[in-house]
Amino acid sequence: MTEPKPNYDAYLERQRRHMATQRATGRDLEIAVPEDIDRRLRCRTSFRRFCETYHASTFCKAWSQDHLEIIDTAEDCVFNDRDFGLAADRGKGKSSLMRALAEWVILYRHRRFAMIFGATGGAAKQHIDNVKYQLGYNEALAADFPDVCGPIRALKGSSRRCDTQTIAGDLSRIKWGVDFVRLALFDPTTVWPEDVAAALAGTLPAGACVRCISIDSNEIRGTNIEDQRPDFLIYDDIESRDSVKSAMQTEDRHVKIENDCAGLAGQGEQMTQFFIGTIMAEGTLTDQYTDPRQKPSWNGRRYRFLIDEPDNGDLWDEYITIRSDAENAGRDAANTFYGAHRAEMDAGARVSWAESYNPQKGQLSALQNYYDQLADKGLMFVACELQNDPGMVEANEPDVLTREEVCNKINTLQRGTVPESCTRLTAFIDVHKHELYWIVVGWDEAFSGWICDYGRYPKQHNQTLADLYPKHRMEGAIRAALEHVEIDLCENRTYTRADATTLEIERGFADSGWEPETVYGWTRECRHKTVWFPSKGWAARAGQEWREGNKTGFVHGEHWRVGPPPNAGANVRLCTYDANYWKRFAHRRFKTPRGEGGCMTLFGTKPDQHRLFADHMVSERALTIHHIYGSQEVWQKRQPSLENHWLDCVTGATVAASSLGLKLKESTPATAKRGSKRARAKVTHYEV
């Protein structure tokens, strides 16, 4: 009798099933019991306790009253379904707090789907990377939330494992996307003892989602992960430096919030929104959403860095002067000065967060940090980003200079010619990576000016210094260009008065703000070293003196000073001047009627030939900042794309004329520093 032939196909099927069972058993996760259920549950109704318990290393400093109010507001938003818009000063840890808020709302099932918006794709990526790390590898969370961290750790960073991961034999349905996470979903009664499952009933985050995306993304509409739509939105610093300068970008983001984001929850679904940021300028989104008058439904609030100003402002004046005179050396000297006078300088002051300072920078207090930023970044930064008060800044254009006024200020003289009353010439070179801009101006003793020549090097606007000097590195190309312009202006070009008298450039400044060492080196070794000096525009603070009689090695004039720059070696004299003051001064020269002292005109007979120059001259506007020290005028570009190089040239050449002793007959002494009765010294000119 013949034996039946073995069914080989059936054998293969049995083997396949066996291996599948083995693999499934290996993939099936065991979810540990939470280490401390009571600790986990205590944090459910307290966002502050959650931060202190599970993010102790992040929130390691003492809370400020502002922090506690922000935390209370976040709880109000979550538990009472109220929208909020908050403006907090720079450096308060807003982003860390917002990521923790997103974790808290999904881990306790306060919301099914939290979404964080950032200003850019890079900011959104930082958010999601941090959230993923915390949910997977925060040891404190892993101990009490093994149902969240365990499945994430099992993925080992690979989204491909999501489709095969099982818990108690069922797929966990976890998702690990580029910009989102969906937590594992399972039946707690199948993995935990009955008492544990009962204790955590109704609080499990199973299936909750979090997504982080840029507010500029085109993928906001229709956000949906396995039929779950966002029901809690966090807008964290959704404005960038570029976006706040563009009315179009601001309006685009406003429309996205009001239309795209507001409709994410779906019809009939409840959604709450939490907006937090720092006001970078008036009219920005943060300005709008934190102002109850503009957005009353958002319950806006604003927080300040400095609550009460110190009593002794004069010592802080001196501190800022010491810090601003030099870079590293000045900062060390300023730190020493503050340490020696701290009690007097702190008197009367109150800051919102005493922990907001950096000891590694030598700072001793938050108040010192505030004044360091005031010295380094100016009143504009302080007004908006520390005080969150754009009302401190207002446009100041009562008599704005127009393009037509500049073009029409022609004097019919030929290029390179000045009238008989002209007694001296000054020049300025504005240094950039790709080109140099320059100007030559004639002056009389009444401070009337005649722009007799200006230009760009290379002359062709489609050429750069790299094109002219292809074998040079950037520094070498700039140095070669400076040498070329120097010879061209001082030797090749001729400047004559109407009576045929030849004039030479008596003083020239070159901007050293961008590439100081290259400019310093050139002024030390140039062929006309008695003419050319480095210069740097600087935004002086309101009420700050430009004359310190006890400062050795410095000469002081009307909102300018000349002295050795830090770490520049011998034979360098840097002219530092208040750019805001002198830009206003230069604009007024064009507004001054012909025939009056201090009037400035342009060579030529055709207004249209100066239209590009005029565009540069009117590229900036004056803003007035109101501060505890008074009001200060700050000049900024009307639009980021506008070029202002010849405005800088006119300003620098005007300062050069002042350094030669020129002074308006009608001018009055600058306002003395607050509380100071010391008279300003009369300065004629300086000698090097």
Instruction: Identify the bridge partners of residue 114 per DSSP, sorted by sequence position.
Output: 210, 232
- Separation of alpha carbons 417 and 500, rounded Å: 9
Structure tokens at 551: 């400062």
- Separation of alpha carbons 443 and 451, rounded Å: 9
The pLDDT value given to residue 321: 75
| Residues of the chain scoring pLDDT < 50 | 1, 25-26, 326-327, 548-550, 667-688
Domain ranges of the chain: 37-302, 306-388, 403-617+645-659
- Separation of alpha carbons 366 and 89, rounded Å: 13
Residue 608 gets which letter from DSSP?
G
Please give the radius of gyration of the chain, using alpha carbons only, rounded to the nearest integer: 33
pLDDT tens-digit readout, 62-104: 999 999 999 999 999 999 999 999 999 998 999 999 999 999 9
DSSP H or E segment with residue 276: strand 272-277
Q: Within a 10 A sphere around the Cβ of 639, how many other Cβ atoms?
A: 9
Helix, strand, coil percentages in the chain from 3-state DSSP, rounded to 5: 40, 20, 40
The pLDDT value given to residue 669: 41
The pLDDT value given to residue 131: 97
Angle at 579 between CA 533 and CA 680, to 5 degrees: 85
The pLDDT value given to residue 50: 98
- Separation of alpha carbons 178 and 124, rounded Å: 11
The pLDDT value given to residue 407: 95
SS3 string, 480-519, reads: HHHHHHHHHHHHHCCEEECCCCEECEEEEEEECCCCHHHH
Q: Within a 10 A sphere around the Cβ of 510, how many other Cβ atoms?
A: 25
Which residue, among 457, 421, 466, 413, has the nearest Cα to 439 in the 3D structure? 457
Q: Are 215 and 253 in contact (CB under 8 A)?
A: yes
Q: Does domain 37-302 have CATH number 3.40.50?
A: yes
Which residues are CB-neighbours of 139 under 8 A, at least 6 positions away? none
- Separation of alpha carbons 379 and 126, rounded Å: 30
| Amino acid found at 443 | W
Instruction: Identify the bridge partners of residue 394 per DSSP, sorted by sequence position.
Output: 624
* Burial class of residue 364, CB neighbours in 10 A (0-12, 13-18, 19+): middle
CATH of domain 403-617+645-659: 3.30.420
